[in-house]
Chains A and B, each alone.
Chain A
Amino acid sequence: MKRKAIKKSILLGLMLFVIGGAQAKYVPGQSAKKPAAEDVILSEPGLMPSAILEITDEPGHWFKDPVDGDSLVVVKPGEAVLLKMTDTRTEHTITSLLWPSNASGFPVDQEKPSSVSVTKSFDKPGLYVFTCKVHPYVFGAVVVDDPKTEGLDIGSEIQLITGAKVPATSDIATKLLRTYFVATTPDLWRDYSKPTWNVELPDIPLNIGGKVVSLTALNISVPNKLFNPATPGIGEVWVDTQFEIIDGKTKPGSATQVDATTWAIKKKVKGVDINMNHPHNMWTDSQYRYIYQTEWFDKRLTTFDRATGKILNSVEVGESPSHVLTRPTDDSLYVAINAGESVVKLSAGKTPSVISAINTGPHTSPHGHYITENGKLMVTPNALASSVSVVDLNSEKVTEIPTGGVIPIAVWGNPAGTRAYVANLLGTPPAMLSSMSVIDLKKKTKITDINLAEDYDPITGKVTGEAYGLLPIQTPVSPDGKYVVTANTLSATITIVDTATNKVIKSLPCEPGCHGAHFGLKEGGGYYAYVASKFANELIIVDMDKLEIAGRVLLADRKDPTITANNGMGGQGVLPLPLSEHSRLQRTSRLADSGKLTPEVEGWLKKATKEQVGGI
């Protein structure tokens, strides 16, 4: 409480400082205006930035004002801001997410990830939010405040990157604003080791379309309740707690291993010796000996020993490797190069090495890819190209399918290998604010788009049915092929689509920054969907027989003194073991009693039902 109050006064003080500082600023070219010099000085000064936002690797402060460390700067109309990349080990884009409608010179949108900076002047008062299209929760904001109006100017109408225009008073605008403040303020993240979650913002007057309201209008307070599922799961669940700050390394993140029978944390793999940087997504080999770990804000794929957590190998694969999968037939690795245009293929085993790169097409930036259970096809969602690429893994022939989705970010397929479901982070304009494209993998065409937010009114915020999912991310298909479970980051909901009807049949409450999802085995039969969120430190367990939340378990380890901040936060990649896809599970099951599996893994397999292994 005291800390909050301090933070409040700091924020307020900083804002005053920024405003005050801007007033006191030095006007370039002043001497040029003296009459004596007027005729002989023919140069005209360019923009002098009044503020800076620097992209860093620091969780929450990805766009950082070097003056106060916040992700928000306040300038006056006519002033300029320098947006640059400083303390980051990978490439990004600087892209407008939203801006006041008809602001001149907007949007800013760098079409390819790189390290380049931009100095931008701002004329129209209002809120401008910037993001990176590769890492789309990297947020920074500029408020252009006209000192003559009361309150900080937010504007009256906001334009989104998708082309949609919404009133600044609309529910969607309010949601975006709250999400921005929560995402960029680690103190506001939902900490389940405390009894309640309080979003307490400072009392700063905002001018929204001429109406003055306090920023405190965005405040919320809800109780935190953890509970274990009544029925245990089988095996374990790995969650990338990507934002944990750990003693002894400068880059954040760990992989947290949770026991699916006791729901206790078994260990956290931190990679202190290699300064593991933003561990984002994982996969394993068919014997479950190794965990392959991508470092998303870096260039590396790291391998560690599943049982001991010892780092075995770390190899540079390209800019912003996001997801990793094995080919079920031979355990070779495929890593999506998110700030590039390829998927890199690596050898299987303890020390993977790069074999080749499959070019997925210009400006593709593939993120969360999928490999069919028969190992024949790979599908990549091409975040910057509004397309998916289908790759024949034998011939490595690539077919790019335009989908019209904005930032297709993750994809998964049905067990038969005939359909893939692609989450479009920013929907399919103009009709859908939030969508999932269904792809026919045989004909290599888009079948349809599912409107994930069909029952949501973006103006009033009224939800009239189950279809309420905004900004979808991971979207796995259940191993029985019945459902697509999607983590929606803006609405903080988990939507469940019935693959028979392509309709959202259920929406469940998630957390701020809802992000990662995957299926694991439930003891006695059936599946659990495990869902992790970036700005919360708990793992949600969804019972796929009841389509209900079965449990919420803590990802923070309060007894570990080496975790100095963001304990358990940053939930992104989720890897339940045993792998639940039938063909993958069968491949491991065939190794039972061969001596190639550990007794622990043998024990897990013994618990799996016949149905869970696909009827074999």
Chain B
Amino acid sequence: MTKQLSAKRSFLWCFGLLVCLAGSLLPAYAAEPQGETHLITLKAANLPSGQLAYQMLAHKIRSKGGKIRDVTDRYKQAPTVPGPTIVLTEGDVAEVTLEHGIKGSKLPVSIHVHGVHYKIEDDGTIKAMNKKVDSAAFPGKPYTYRWEAAPGTAGTWPYHDHTFGNPMLGSEDKGLYGAVIVNPKSGKVPALIDGEIVDVKLSDVKREFVLWMHETTFWGAEINHLLDGRQIPLWSNPTVGARLGELIRFHVIGMGTAFHTFHLHGHRWLEHGTSSVVDAVNIGPIYRQSFVVKAGEGVGPGAWHYHCHVLQHMQSGMMGIFRVVE
């Protein structure tokens, strides 16, 4: 096992070096990262239910000075829906290697990412579509993608499969999806706090909740900054919890074909990129909204309901609780 791992590691290193070497010969989009480099290994795997899911196998962060931090233990060591959330900062680079772990299938599986910069080879589509290469992993043949969180890419973005079972649609519908959060280099985002629009420091945000709206279900995950960014899988229609007065960042993302209206009781926030104060936002497929609230601001603790406001979706149980405790 150890031997295998070290072999894998050195393979990764070689690959990393190759990319870096190639990088020095290529134009600006593959330039030396201004920030950190994330060396990530993901696996696409089966869940017992028949769903497919991404699993984080390894996440190491190389600083500009070449120092390596291993943050793999932030993640659940199992495939999850949604997949692991990859958190970057503007200026960072991610080298994401995908392994094919879907039992009983030889079909290609991929990661197509939104928002960040990447070359056509890293599009996560098959050759017939991108006219260049099968940008996907096959059994025993991992594929490495290089993403640049270039300036201007700050935001919350989806990543998902684009090849498995269907070259046009992929298998995001079966569970192969996750989020990339690119934090702004400034480390601040605007928010409505105590009735004022202010810039809040992301370092002051205690918890982030990623909520995917798929068909009639929320699929969730938490990033807990009190536990050094630990990611907690929350599965379907979860209770998300916070302490009164904490700064909480929500990332709500749509998936599939349905249009939703996300509503959180008792809280208001700034609609993404505007100064408009809202307590409900429309979420279409692959559309997303991120916002920061102060938990229980002006309303106190409670089991605050969050739900899709489309009646049929509510009736099918598309709801959960934002639990604010003292």
Q: Footprint of B on A, CB under 8 Å?
A: 21-22, 24-26, 28-32, 36-37, 40-52, 65-67, 80, 82, 84, 86, 110-112, 114-119
A41 with B312: CB separation less than 8 A: no
Contact residues in B for A22 (Cβ distance below 8 Å): 48
Contact residues in A for B312 (Cβ distance below 8 Å): 112, 114, 116
Contact residues in B for A47 (Cβ distance below 8 Å): 235-237
Nearest CB in chain A: distance from B308 CB, A: 10
* CA A25 to CA B47, docked complex, whole Å: 8
* CA A41 to CA B243, docked complex, whole Å: 10
Contacts A31-B76, A42-B243, A45-B232 known; list 11 others, CB within 8 Å: A21-B48, A36-B227, A42-B241, A43-B323, A45-B235, A46-B236, A50-B48, A116-B215, A116-B216, A117-B217, A119-B217
B257 with A115: CB separation less than 8 A: yes
B233 with A28: CB separation less than 8 A: yes
List the 5 closest pairs (A to B, CB-CB), nearest first.
A42-B241, A66-B50, A21-B48, A46-B238, A116-B216
Cβ-defined partner of B215 (8 Å) among A43, A44, A112, A117 = A117
Residue of A nearest to B324 (CB): A42
* CA A43 to CA B321, docked complex, whole Å: 9
B215 with A52: CB separation less than 8 A: no
A46 with B235: CB separation less than 8 A: yes
Contact residues in A for B174 (Cβ distance below 8 Å): 66
Contact residues in A for B209 (Cβ distance below 8 Å): 43
Contact residues in B for A29 (Cβ distance below 8 Å): 232-234
Contact residues in A for B323 (Cβ distance below 8 Å): 42-44
> B267 within 8 Å of A by Cβ?
no
Contact residues in B for A116 (Cβ distance below 8 Å): 215-216, 258, 312-313, 316
Contact residues in B for A44 (Cβ distance below 8 Å): 234, 238-239, 241, 323
Contact residues in A for B113 (Cβ distance below 8 Å): none
Q: Footprint of A on B, CB under 8 Å?
A: 48-51, 76, 78-79, 173-174, 209, 215-218, 220, 222, 224, 226-227, 230, 232-243, 257-258, 312-313, 315-317, 320, 323, 325
A-B contact count (CB 8 A): 120
* CA A45 to CA B235, docked complex, whole Å: 6
Nearest CB in chain A: distance from B14 CB, A: 32
Nearest CB in chain B: distance from A65 CB, A: 6
B315 with A110: CB separation less than 8 A: yes
Contact residues in A for B226 (Cβ distance below 8 Å): 40
Known: A46-B236, A52-B50, A119-B217. A41 touches B241 (CB 8 A): yes
B238 with A31: CB separation less than 8 A: no
Residue of B nearest to A42 (CB): B241
Contact residues in B for A36 (Cβ distance below 8 Å): 227
Cβ-defined partner of B237 (8 Å) among A25, A51, A84, A119 = A119
A119 with B222: CB separation less than 8 A: no
Residue of A nearest to B174 (CB): A66
8 inter-chain pairs at a CB distance below 8 angstroms, sorted by A residue, are A28-B233, A28-B235, A43-B238, A46-B238, A48-B235, A51-B49, A52-B50, A118-B216
Nearest CB in chain B: distance from A437 CB, A: 29
A52 with B49: CB separation less than 8 A: yes
B49 with A67: CB separation less than 8 A: yes
Contact residues in A for B234 (Cβ distance below 8 Å): 28-29, 43-46
Residue of B nearest to A85 (CB): B215
A37 with B216: CB separation less than 8 A: no
Nearest CB in chain B: distance from A432 CB, A: 30
Known: A40-B227, A52-B50. A115 touches B258 (CB 8 A): yes
Nearest CB in chain B: distance from A166 CB, A: 29
* CA A478 to CA B54, docked complex, whole Å: 61
Residue of A nearest to B240 (CB): A43
Residue of B nearest to A32 (CB): B232
Known: A37-B230, A117-B217. A49 touches B222 (CB 8 A): no
* CA A51 to CA B48, docked complex, whole Å: 7
Known: A31-B76, A47-B236, A47-B237. A42 touches B50 (CB 8 A): no
* CA A63 to CA B232, docked complex, whole Å: 31
* CA A40 to CA B222, docked complex, whole Å: 12
* CA A82 to CA B47, docked complex, whole Å: 13
B48 with A24: CB separation less than 8 A: yes
B233 with A45: CB separation less than 8 A: yes
Residue of B nearest to A23 (CB): B48
Known: A43-B222, A43-B241. A118 touches B316 (CB 8 A): yes
Contact residues in A for B240 (Cβ distance below 8 Å): 43
Nearest CB in chain A: distance from B216 CB, A: 4
* CA A303 to CA B91, docked complex, whole Å: 60
* CA A464 to CA B313, docked complex, whole Å: 48
Contact residues in A for B320 (Cβ distance below 8 Å): 46
Contact residues in B for A111 (Cβ distance below 8 Å): 315
Contact residues in A for B238 (Cβ distance below 8 Å): 43-46
Contact residues in B for A67 (Cβ distance below 8 Å): 48-50
Nearest CB in chain A: distance from B205 CB, A: 14
Contact residues in B for A84 (Cβ distance below 8 Å): 215
* CA A217 to CA B304, docked complex, whole Å: 52
Cβ-defined partner of B316 (8 Å) among A37, A42, A110 = A110
B215 with A46: CB separation less than 8 A: no
Nearest CB in chain B: distance from A227 CB, A: 46
* CA A32 to CA B320, docked complex, whole Å: 18
* CA A50 to CA B81, docked complex, whole Å: 13
Contact residues in A for B236 (Cβ distance below 8 Å): 46-49, 80, 82, 119
Known: A86-B173, A115-B257, A118-B317. A41 touches B235 (CB 8 A): no
A65 with B50: CB separation less than 8 A: yes
Contact residues in B for A30 (Cβ distance below 8 Å): 76
* CA A116 to CA B273, docked complex, whole Å: 31
* CA A117 to CA B217, docked complex, whole Å: 7
Nearest CB in chain A: distance from B323 CB, A: 6
Residue of B nearest to A81 (CB): B49
Known: A51-B49, A66-B174, A82-B49. A117 touches B316 (CB 8 A): yes
Contact residues in A for B217 (Cβ distance below 8 Å): 82, 117, 119
Residue of A nearest to B233 (CB): A28
* CA A75 to CA B174, docked complex, whole Å: 20
* CA A116 to CA B237, docked complex, whole Å: 15
Q: Which of B76, B173, B233 has the most CB of A within 10 A?
A: B233
B222 with A41: CB separation less than 8 A: yes
Known: A46-B320, A52-B51. A31 touches B232 (CB 8 A): yes
Nearest CB in chain B: distance from A120 CB, A: 8
Contact residues in B for A50 (Cβ distance below 8 Å): 48-49
* CA A357 to CA B80, docked complex, whole Å: 46
* CA A11 to CA B50, docked complex, whole Å: 17
* CA A31 to CA B80, docked complex, whole Å: 14
Q: Which of B48, B78, B224, B237 has the most CB of A within 10 A?
A: B48
Contact residues in A for B227 (Cβ distance below 8 Å): 36-37, 40-41
Residue of B nearest to A54 (CB): B50
Nearest CB in chain A: distance from B254 CB, A: 15
* CA A118 to CA B257, docked complex, whole Å: 16
* CA A322 to CA B318, docked complex, whole Å: 31
Cβ-defined partner of B239 (8 Å) among A46, A65, A114, A115 = A46
Contact residues in B for A25 (Cβ distance below 8 Å): 48
Contact residues in A for B258 (Cβ distance below 8 Å): 115-116
Contact residues in B for A86 (Cβ distance below 8 Å): 173
Residue of B nearest to A69 (CB): B50
Nearest CB in chain B: distance from A213 CB, A: 28
Known: A43-B239, A45-B238, A111-B315. A26 touches B232 (CB 8 A): no
Contact residues in B for A51 (Cβ distance below 8 Å): 48-50
Contact residues in B for A119 (Cβ distance below 8 Å): 217, 236-237, 317
* CA A66 to CA B317, docked complex, whole Å: 23
Residue of A nearest to B217 (CB): A119
Contact residues in A for B237 (Cβ distance below 8 Å): 46-47, 119
* CA A236 to CA B73, docked complex, whole Å: 72
Known: A26-B78, A52-B49. A41 touches B232 (CB 8 A): yes
Residue of B nearest to A21 (CB): B48
* CA A235 to CA B25, docked complex, whole Å: 80
* CA A51 to CA B46, docked complex, whole Å: 12
Residue of A nearest to B214 (CB): A117
Residue of B nearest to A82 (CB): B49
